[in-house]
Structure 1
Amino acid sequence: MGLKEEFEEHAEKVKTLTTKPSDADLLILYGLFKQATVGPVTTSRPGMFSMKERAKWDAWKAVETKSTDEAMSDYITKVKQLMEAAEASAAST
């Protein structure tokens, strides 16, 4: 399986997590996903009254120096970490 296929598989798997990731984890995933699928940020930073959009923009901007392959790989790693944490949480209850 190639990197792109594995990335797409994990992009689907993240939707099946039994526990919702923290906001910080969601922002990391968002930034890596956008970098992997779109590339570097091309829009201006949202205004201070658009706090959610601004946080998402900042998360994407933070990883804009990563290559597409790096972003895909980091995204896969993050999803695996979240899945392991969800499994550990389910096992401990």
Structure 2
Amino acid sequence: MGLEEEFLEYAEKAKTLPETTTDQSKLILYGLYKQATVGPVNTSRPGIFNLRDRAKWDAWKAVEGKSKEEAMTDYITKVKQLLEEAAASA
């Protein structure tokens, strides 16, 4: 299985993460996903009153230097970690 296929598989698995997954973990996944699928941030930072979108933008900006492959690999690793934590606490 190639990296892209594995990435897509784990993107689907990420949708099954429990409600208890922290917002911080979700933001990390969001940033890595956007970096892997879109590339570097291509929008301006949302305004100060738009906290949700601003946090998502910041998470994406934080991983801006990663290559597409690095972002995919880190995303897969993070989803695996979160799934293992969820299974351990179940």
The verdict on a shared fold, with TM-score over 0.5 as the criterion, is yes
Decide whether the 8 Å contact of 1:32 with 1:63 is kept in 2: yes
Corresponding letter in the other structure for 1:51: L
Q: What's the offset of the Cα at 1:16? A: 1.5
Moved over 6 A (4+): none
2: distance between equivalents of 1:2 and 1:41? 25
User: Please, what TM-score do these two structures have when normalized by structure 1?
Assistant: 0.94
Aligned to 2:5: 5
Q: CA offset at residue 17 of structure 1?
A: 2.2
Q: Distance in 2 between matches of 1:31 and 1:17?
A: 17
Q: Which residue in 2 is equivalent to 1:59?
A: 59
- Separation of aligned partners in 1, 2:20 and 2:7: 20
Residue 80 of structure 1: aligned partner: 80
Q: Root-mean-square deviation (CA), in Å?
A: 0.8
Listed as ranges, the gaps of 5+ residues in structure 2 are: none
Letter in 2 for 1:16: T
Q: What amino acid is aligned across from residue 76 of structure 2 in structure 1?
A: I
Q: Could you give the per-residue CA deviations for residues 31-68 of structure 1, whole angstroms, max 9, x where no partner exists?
A: 00000000000111001000000000000000010000
For residues 12-91 of structure 1, what are the structure 2 equivalents within 5 Å? 12-90=12-90
Shift in Å at residue 21 of structure 1? 1.2
| % identity of equivalent residues | 71
